[in-house]
Chains A and B, each alone.
Chain A
Amino acid sequence: MTTPEIPQRSWSQRWHVKAVGWTALLVALLMGSSKMTGVDVGMFFSNFDQFTNLLVRMSQPAWSYVPIIIQPLYETIQMAILGTTIGTVFAVPFAVLAASNLVHNRWLRGIIRLILDLVRTLPDLLLAAIFVAIFGIGSTAGVITLAIFSFGMISKLFYEVIETIDMGPLEAMESVGASKVTIIWYAVLPQIMNQFVSYFLYTLEINVRASTVLGYLGAGGIGVFLQRSLSEFDYNKTAVIILATLVVVMVIDGVSNHLRRVLL
């Protein structure tokens, strides 16, 4: 048997010039930026004992603290659910209008995306500070902050999902004589539902963690207790709060996995 003639690879293909070049460039850029910003990686290792010291002090969680934090933790979860839901409700129409395969008007899409970029630029801590100033200390400020934060994040995640769908069913619905809204309802939603649900739950998870931080600014929830324990150097209590948050995050993760399997 004769071997069939195989086309020759070019020199640059043979030695993967492109891949090697990009990797080298990336490493150089990383080193350059760490030098310019004055990041000292060595310090991470030389000061490691501080870190272990903290861990040791957190290693005996004050379990008696659990009953006290149940109520604020509950409040945190409520805030996160409310904030995420409100944000999502507003994010869906924006995501549809920002998707390039649904809206062909470049101007409309551009304006919508500009608004979304703007919303995402605002740091959540800044938002919380503003709303605490407006609504006073309490969970209202927290919920509104989380809603705006979720809106920015979810609308981006959603329109990127929408842009990956199969356009065939849309063409079919268009040929049937369906209106725009009907087309989206029948041909787009079923294709993206399970990714929507999983992104919603992911955002909820982030919001549970974020609301612990927002508590710092008086925006309600478990954050207040986290801040108190830290400022009193009561690391045993901090450990309890972190573990409790972990449980909540794990539960959300479990629900997310289950729902995605069911909705597939």
Chain B
Amino acid sequence: MDQQPIISFKNVNKIYNNGTVGLKDINFDIPRGEFLVVVGLSGAGKSTLLRTINRMHEISSGEITIENEPISDYKGQSLRLLRRKIGMIFQDFNLIKRSTVQRNVLSGRVSYYPTWKSVLNLFSAADKDRAIHALERVNLTEKLYTRADELSGGQQQRVAIARTLMQDPKVILADEPVASLDPLTTQTVMDILKRLNQEDGITVIVNLHSVALARQYADRIVGLRAGAVVYDKAIADVTEADLTKIYQTA
């Protein structure tokens, strides 16, 4: 890819207050439109790495740039605008369980409204329409008025993806999006992410446990161990032996 990277890590370190090393000298670029899978053992720093991109976690040193803008000085409104263009999907879906699917999906749009409007539920007709189209992308329009906790795990994750689409994101971060799902719904959710990547050109970064899934969906695989990048190859160059090595304890 010849264009500018959308995200770039430069000498990024993260040390927790208790001295634990979270991330160690991370250096790599993510080109626009890439489907990147991050693999590694539990505690290798995958979640931390992902959350530094939307500043849900702070870094200790180094710099992350998104579209050539350093993000570490953002706060208040500028931080919210940064987060608006970066969607996030979680292992436990993190829907508001007592609310309807519609409200959950619309909640992805609140950063386009002043606080008083989102509190009073004053979404425009265009955005209500947008919510229906977002649900259409994940094949769940018929659940518009269902309460979120009445859905299955896979359906909840699809609602979460629809919520993210409401942000109109340039990047989607997915933190173990299929770890709580069965194999069949896993394929559905991963297929949706892949489609958003290919059809909408959204850059997707996914943390995964499963090496098989990583090989099936990724354009590129990055391996983490003890907070450091120990592996970084395009999918064409990835071999089975490489991946087993990432999962060996040091």
Contact = CB atoms under 8 A, between A and B. Distances in A.
Question: Are A and B subunits of one complex?
Answer: yes
A117 interface: no
Given A171-B56, A182-B118, A177 B111 contact: yes
Given A174-B56, A177-B84, A179-B80, A168 B118 contact: no
- Most chain B beta-carbon neighbours within 10 Å: one of A171, A177, A191: A177
Contact of B115 (A172, A174, A179): A179
Contacts of A168: 90, 92-94
A178 B110 CA distance: 6
B80 A185 contact: no
Contacts of B64: none
Contacts of A187: 96
B125 interface: no
A172 B118 contact: no
A243 to B, nearest CB: 39
B95 interface: yes
Interface string A183-224: 001110011010000000000000000000000000000000
Contacts of A178: 80, 107, 110-111, 118
Contacts of B118: 178, 182, 185-186
A193 B79 CA distance: 30
Contacts of B54: 175
A259 to B, nearest CB: 14
A32 interface: no
A191 B98 CA distance: 7
A182 B108 CA distance: 11
Interface residues of A, number: 19
A181 interface: yes
A179 B76 CA distance: 8
A24 B228 CA distance: 54
A65 B80 CA distance: 65
A186 B95 CA distance: 10
B230 interface: no
Contacts of B99: 186, 190
A186 B110 contact: yes
Nearest to B99: A190
A248 interface: no
Contacts of A185: 118-119
B162 interface: no
A177 B88 contact: no
B82 interface: yes
A110 interface: no
Contacts of B98: 190-191, 193
Given A169-B96, A175-B54, A182 B119 contact: yes
Nearest to A263: B98
Contacts of A176: 83-84, 87-88, 107-108, 110-111, 163-164, 167
B86 interface: yes
B96 A190 contact: yes
A114 B57 CA distance: 31
Given A185-B119, A186-B96, A177 B107 contact: no
B107 A186 contact: yes
A171 B92 CA distance: 11
B160 interface: yes
B81 interface: yes
A181 B80 CA distance: 13
Contacts of A182: 110, 115, 118-119
A169 B92 CA distance: 9
Contacts of A171: 56, 90, 94
Nearest to B76: A179
B95 A169 contact: yes
Interface string B126-169: 00000000000000000000000000000000001001100100
A175 to B, nearest CB: 4
Nearest to A187: B96
Interface of B: 54, 56, 79-84, 86-88, 90, 92-99, 103, 107-108, 110-111, 115, 118-119, 160, 163-164, 167
